[in-house]
């Protein structure tokens, strides 16, 4: 098993199950740990991340294995929380076949019946970037993406070394119809991993962000894919509370996935 490497002192940590990795890679893959920084989800806490480089020949196979171990992708990096005294960040995924659509879910789907999903190659466009900037300014104006330039967005989208798509959602079947949402989505052997979603904030009444997740679940069902990975749920963080609405929801508990209980 590869050891964590960092400029700071850290204990010996296990980041993934070696049996999930392609043969021979468990010894060659190198993990690193960031220095502590302010936690974006829980006040007065510090976060650290374990990460490794995916820009390798076996990127897709490694990415699939790491996703099952709770890692997420950002450009060419796979990362996972590695906080010493906090385990609030929990990797969650929806088992698509067992998903139970609520009455509110059906209303959201009906409100967005005119939206058309269109998969496109993972390549940046000016139209996507304009929508992203509008979304970030409305929802995360003081966040780390507020100063993103088009060149940054090109790097964000184009740096993926794994199988990735952009699902565009347009108000109509024509390719020139207004773009109202987009999701950067990785395609795994066992499902979809939603990397980043952005949408027109002026259409808040349509719950488009919620709809895009529902549509990914429905698309996974159509494709026979078992899971939709939603990233991290953080208990006590209002930003992450929405993920509990998708039921049933599986949480990574140690090295196994199990159903998240209602009392957690």
Could you give phi then psi for residue 118, rounded to 5 degrees?
A: -135, 110
What mean pLDDT, rounded, does the chain reach?
Answer: 89
Please give the residue that has the higher pLDDT: either 184 or 138. 184
Q: pLDDT confidence of 97, banded at 50, 70, 90? A: very high
The side-by-side arrangement of strands in the sheet containing 49-53 is: 4-5, 31-33, 49-53, 77-81, 72-74
**pLDDT category, 8, cuts 50, 70, 90?**
very low
> Which H/E stretch holds residue 129?
helix 126-139
> What's the CA gap between 91 and 39, in Å, rounded?
16
**Whole-number pLDDT of residue 175:** 85
Mean pLDDT of the 192-208 span: 94
Q: For position 15, what pLDDT does the model report? A: 57
Per cent of the chain over pLDDT 90 is 72
* DSSP secondary structure code for residue 149 in this structure: -
If one looks up domain 104-224 in CATH, what number appears?
Answer: 3.40.630
Is the pLDDT at 28 greater than 50, yes or no?
yes
Hey, where are the domains in the chain?
Answer: 4-86, 104-224
pLDDT at position 1, please?
A: 30
Q: What percent of the chain has pLDDT over 70?
A: 88
Predicted confidence at residue 39, as pLDDT, reads 92
pLDDT at residue 29, rounded to an integer = 80
Please tell me the predicted confidence (pLDDT) of residue 94: 98
- pLDDT grade, residue 111 (50/70/90)? very high
Whole-model pTM: value is 0.90
Using CA atoms of 38, 44, 48, 49 in order, give the dihedral in degrees to the nearest 10.
-80
Does residue 252 have a pLDDT over 70? yes
Residue 142 pLDDT level (bands cut at 50, 70, 90) = low
Please indicate whether residue 199 or residue 255 has the higher confidence score (pLDDT). 199
> Which range, of 52-56, 114-118, 167-171, averages the lowest pLDDT?
52-56
pLDDT-derived band at 5 (thresholds 50, 70, 90) equals very low
* Side-chain half-sphere exposure of 76, counting CA atoms within 13 A: 11
CA distance 213 to 17: 28
């Amino acid at each position: 098993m590869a050891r964590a490497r960092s400029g700071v002192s850290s204990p010996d940590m296990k980041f993934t199950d070696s049996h999930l990795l392609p043969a021979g890679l468990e010894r060659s893959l190198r993990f690193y740990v960031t220095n502590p920084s302010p936690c974006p989800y829980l006040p007065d806490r510090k976060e650290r991340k374990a990460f490794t480089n995916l820009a390798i020949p076996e990127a897709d196979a490694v990415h699939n294995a790491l996703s099952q171990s709770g890692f997420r992708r950002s450009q060419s990096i796979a990362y996972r929380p590695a906080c010493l005294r906090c385990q609030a960040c929990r990797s969650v995924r929806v088992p698509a076949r067992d998903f139970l659509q609520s009455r509110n879910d059906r209303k959201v789907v009906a409100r967005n019946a005119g939206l058309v999903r269109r998969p496109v190659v993972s390549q940046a466009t000016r139209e996507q970037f304009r929508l992203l900037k509008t979304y970030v300014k409305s929802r995360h104006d003081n966040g780390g993406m507020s100063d993103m330039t088009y060149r940054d967005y090109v790097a964000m989208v184009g740096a993926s070394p794994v199988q990735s798509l952009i699902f565009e959602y347009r108000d109509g079947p024509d390719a020139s119809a207004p773009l109202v949402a987009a999701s950067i989505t990785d395609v795994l052997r066992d499902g979809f991993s939603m990397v980043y979603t952005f949408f027109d904030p002026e259409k808040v009444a349509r719950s488009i962000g919620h709809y895009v997740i529902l549509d990914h679940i429905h698309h996974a069902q159509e494709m026979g894919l078992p899971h939709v990975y939603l990233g991290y749920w953080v208990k006590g963080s209002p930003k992450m509370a929405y993920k509990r609405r998708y039921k049933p929801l599986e949480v990574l508990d140690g090295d196994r996935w199990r159903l998240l209980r209602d009392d957690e």
